[in-house]
Structure 1
Amino acid sequence: VTAWAARQQNKPCIGISHQNAFRYPVPLKGASWLDKSVLEYFAPSQHQLGLHWYHFDQPLLPPIVHTLDNQADNDDFVLVYLPFESIEDICDLLFHFNQQTFICYHPEVIEVEKVENIELRPLCHTNFQHHLHRCCGVIANGGFELPSEALSLGKKLLMKPLAGQFEQQSNVATLEDLGLATAMDSLDISTVRQWLKEQQAESVKYPDVAQAIVNWVLQGAWDSQEELSKQLWEQVDFPSYVSNI
């Protein structure tokens, strides 16, 4: 809405999003011509800043995360956030690992409930962040913000992209290719079992991207994104096991 209002009133508009990264030649999976057209015209802006987990030799920026200075623990539970899967299917999967504790946030949960090795919780940002900082791993769909925060906190990732969602499929394929996540196309017992055996992840160190963008906007050189991108990526510190960079 903001982008279209700015266009109608002939006001400059800067678009900042992960979706803008797909305007560049970055890894894509399952993207149709229609998908690319929607990205092009959905939120028109004169200047686009694309956020991604790697630059791919393009003027992209690292993720904006809100966990830069936060300390993380690694308690013996896995955080699960699969809002588009049914609670029954999630529980049927996790019951197979009765020696492992899971804390599952889901939009269908009304109140906290303990079911065998699973603690079901209603959506709550504050509580979710608390458990994100303390968990030993995260099982989630293929979004951008949650994996970015998990990576910055050093949490291992198991991701299931939504079928038919090219952005999610591309996200998961990218993180798997970088060695930063494990992928599963379905709620697969063997994949979860193998993932649970993996070692604790190392954190990805991101700079303060939000403040850098503020400074860039105030300077007014909006057509020059390459230097901003270069400066920020020079400050990113990837784990030792990251591949294909």
Structure 2
Amino acid sequence: MKILYAVQSTGNGHIIRANELIKILKKRAEVDVLISGTQSSLKLKHDVKYRYKGLSFVFGKRGGIDFLKTLKLFNPITLIKEIYNCPVDKYDLIINDFEPISAWSSLFKRKTNCVACSHQFSLLSDKIPKESKVNLIQSFILKYYSPTKKGYGFHFKKYDKNIFTPIIKNNLRNEEIKNGSHITAYLPSYSDEYLFTIFSKLYKQNFHVFSPYTKHKYRRGNIAFFPTGYEEFEESLLSCLGVICNSGFETPSEAIFLGKKLLVIPMKNQFEQHMNAVALDKMGVKVLKKLNEKSIIKIRKWIKKENLVRMSYPDENKKIIDKILIDYIREKSNNKISNSVKNFINPRDTIL
């Protein structure tokens, strides 16, 4: 069986999930990897066969998406060419982690073997916690950015039958958890300078800030700035007092699994993160609508308060991969049987 694993690189969560799932897939089938997008600061730990520019949202420096830079990067001609040239017809199965090129290519070429395997797919379920008001434009983007009819989702809880709990890196599962005195912060949509103006006011508290804008480790007062990467971030996370991050999916999931105090700030104009914030709030996680000087008092109270939410997410990685493959084989077998029956039965012999 030939499988194409397609992953987009807007944010690091997709990359982290792909690292864990691809190594299991490679033990069961022949796997090629496709990646599109430009906004991940982590490198995939597997060889990539196809690289596309794709369709990326550019993070800003004051808590949201930079729509001007996003529009400047958008090239519709390149996008159409990439969709047209994407070799989805060479593969038996396409596993898609919210990757638009392979999804649209499969749609236009009428390939029915493209299945979602992403956090975003879970957000289409009616059973997950949601805001009372639904933004129709952002909901439309969520549904058609990477369109697939079938799929498997990930969320903080098993809200629906095809929703699994988060994939946690083996490194975090196997290491000792310590409770240090620093706060680990990962807020890629804020500049280093902006974060310094906020966290420096909490001068009695040490922070480890991981930033895509930091190229070399340095320290300013009570704040140590680090480039984003695997090892140092994992070490900081395992030994921290608490975590401050956007309400994406991977970092909050890791903090909850490790039993770390968690505070999340949804990225502005990011529909997915606002939906995640609703779910996290219901679980008892502290949510701030924005990060500014008015937030300092709230952060200080959060640091002093015992506010732990812990979930013992089981390692279901092999189970997830096996379910995807078994479902595909069953569907293929059923289609073959159905076609054989159709060919066997003569329409003239059918009794009406």
In the TM superposition, structure 1's runs of 4+ consecutive aligned residues that sit over 6 Å from their partners are 221-224
Alignment partners' CA distance in 2, 1:156 and 1:222: 43
> Are residues 1:63 and 2:163 paired?
no
Tell me: CA distance 1:222–1:196, structure 2 relative to 1, closer, same or farther (3 Å): farther
Structure 1 equivalent of residue 154 of structure 2: 51
Structure 2 equivalent of residue 28 of structure 1: 130
Report how far residue 11 of structure 1 moved. 4.6
Tell me: CA distance 1:17–1:145, structure 2 relative to 1, closer, same or farther (3 Å): same
AA partner of residue 297 (structure 2): S
Return the index of the structure with the highest Cα Rg: 2
- State the number of aligned residues: 223
AA partner of residue 182 (structure 1): K
* Structure in which a larger fraction of residues adopt helix: 2
Tell me: CA distance 1:2–1:209, structure 2 relative to 1, closer, same or farther (3 Å): farther
Q: Secondary structure at the match of 2:215?
A: coil
> Are residues 1:91 and 2:196 paired?
yes
Compute the TM-score of the two structures, normalised by the length of structure 1: 0.83
* TM-superposition CA deviations, 1:147-205 (whole Å, max 9, x none): 111111111111111122121111112101111x2111222011101110122635311
> Are residues 1:207 and 2:308 paired?
no
Alignment partners' CA distance in 2, 1:75 and 1:193: 17
* Counterpart contact for 1:216–1:222, Cα < 8 Å: no
Structure 2 equivalent of residue 237 of structure 1: none
Compute the TM-score of the two structures, normalised by the length of structure 2: 0.59
AA partner of residue 191 (structure 1): K
* TM-superposition CA deviations, 1:1-49 (whole Å, max 9, x none): 2223334262512201111112111222364212222222222224211
* Structure in which a larger fraction of residues adopt strand: 2
Structure 1 equivalent of residue 280 of structure 2: 175
Report how far residue 58 of structure 1 moved. 5.3
AA partner of residue 117 (structure 2): I
The answer to which structure, 1 or 2, has the higher relative contact order (CA under 8 A, 6+ apart) is: 1
AA partner of residue 186 (structure 1): K
Report how far residue 222 of structure 1 moved. 8.0
* Counterpart contact for 2:202–2:296, Cα < 8 Å: no
* Counterpart contact for 2:283–2:309, Cα < 8 Å: no
Long gaps (5+) in structure 1 = 225-245
Q: Percent identity?
A: 29
Report how far residue 137 of structure 1 moved. 0.7
Long gaps (5+) in structure 2 = 1-100, 332-352
Structure 2 equivalent of residue 198 of structure 1: 305
AA partner of residue 50 (structure 1): G
AA partner of residue 140 (structure 2): S
* Counterpart contact for 2:151–2:162, Cα < 8 Å: no
Structure 2 equivalent of residue 228 of structure 1: none
1:2 to 102, 108, 116: 102
RMSD in angstroms over aligned alpha carbons?
Answer: 2.2
AA partner of residue 51 (structure 1): F
